[in-house]
Amino acid sequence: MESLDKKESLKFGIMGGTFNPIHYGHLVTAEEAFNQFKLDKVIFMPSAAPPHKKDEKIISADDRYLMTVLAVASNKHFSVSSLEIERGGYSYTVDTINALKKRLAPNSKIYFITGADAILEILTWKEPHKLIDFCDFIAATRPGYNLGKFREVFSYDDWQKFKSKISFMEIPALAISSTAIRERIRKGRSVRYLLPDNVIDYISKNRLYIEGD
């Protein structure tokens, strides 16, 4: 992982995800968070083994990391961390944020950027109440997303604890999904304009997501 200056207080966005593969929905979300929340940097954090996707077939962490590096290379405000990959095992957000906090200045602020649907499941994450003490959340939503889901899922007491730590951000490009991209590749359909060309080239060269490989 890149060196972080413990003397400098900054606002960091942590874009966690499997990135299987990374696409423009991820990049637009990160860019919008960077601008809306006046962040100093967005760090993309590819997971090693996501605990909520134990039954899914996921390509190697190295391939997902390299595709993410290619995707963000042209944006000086973006960087990629291999922290979770180097740690190995299941990637728990609370462990990642705790490790990052030790590398940053004490009064630096961390925002964890993820989809609203993931936030709906936050109470099933490892040590969720400790996690909300570590960071704030930016929840990306599609246009027309029903925010009433949150009051249905959270108890009154939990929602009172969490609501001040969650900010919602509408992103039209979230209609793009990694699942749909993998399916298009398997069927030999074009994925141009859904993800960066250099990522498409990497997928093609390494024959990723091809049925039977």
Q: For 158-196, write each residue's pLDDT tens digit.
A: 999 899 999 999 997 778 889 999 999 999 999 999 999
Q: What is the pLDDT of residue 3?
A: 46
Kindly state whether residue 4 falls inside one of the protein's structural domains.
no
Q: What is the pLDDT of residue 176?
A: 87
Q: What is the pLDDT of residue 188?
A: 94
Of 60-69, 74-83, 96-105, 192-201, where does mean pLDDT reach its minimum? 96-105
Predicted model pTM: 0.90
Range of the domain at 103: 11-205
pLDDT at residue 7 greater than cutoff 70: no
Extract the tokens encoding 193.
């304009």
Kindly state whether residue 2 falls inside one of the protein's structural domains.
no
What is the domain count for the chain?
A: 1
Of 58, 41, 48, nearest to 95 (Cα)? Answer: 48
Kindly state whether residue 211 falls inside one of the protein's structural domains.
no
Q: Examine residue 21 and say whether the peptide bond preceding it is cis (omega within 30 degrees of 0).
A: yes
Q: For 12-33, write each residue's pLDDT tens digit.
A: 999 999 999 999 999 999 999 9
Of 120, 122, 101, nearest to 43 (Cα)? Answer: 101
CATH of the domain at 82: 3.40.50.620
Average pLDDT, the chain: 90
Kindly state whether residue 160 falls inside one of the protein's structural domains.
yes
pLDDT at residue 45 greater than cutoff 70: yes
CA distance 205 to 4: 34
Q: What is the pLDDT of residue 107?
A: 86
Question: What percent of the chain stands above pLDDT 90?
Answer: 70
Kindly state whether residue 6 falls inside one of the protein's structural domains.
no
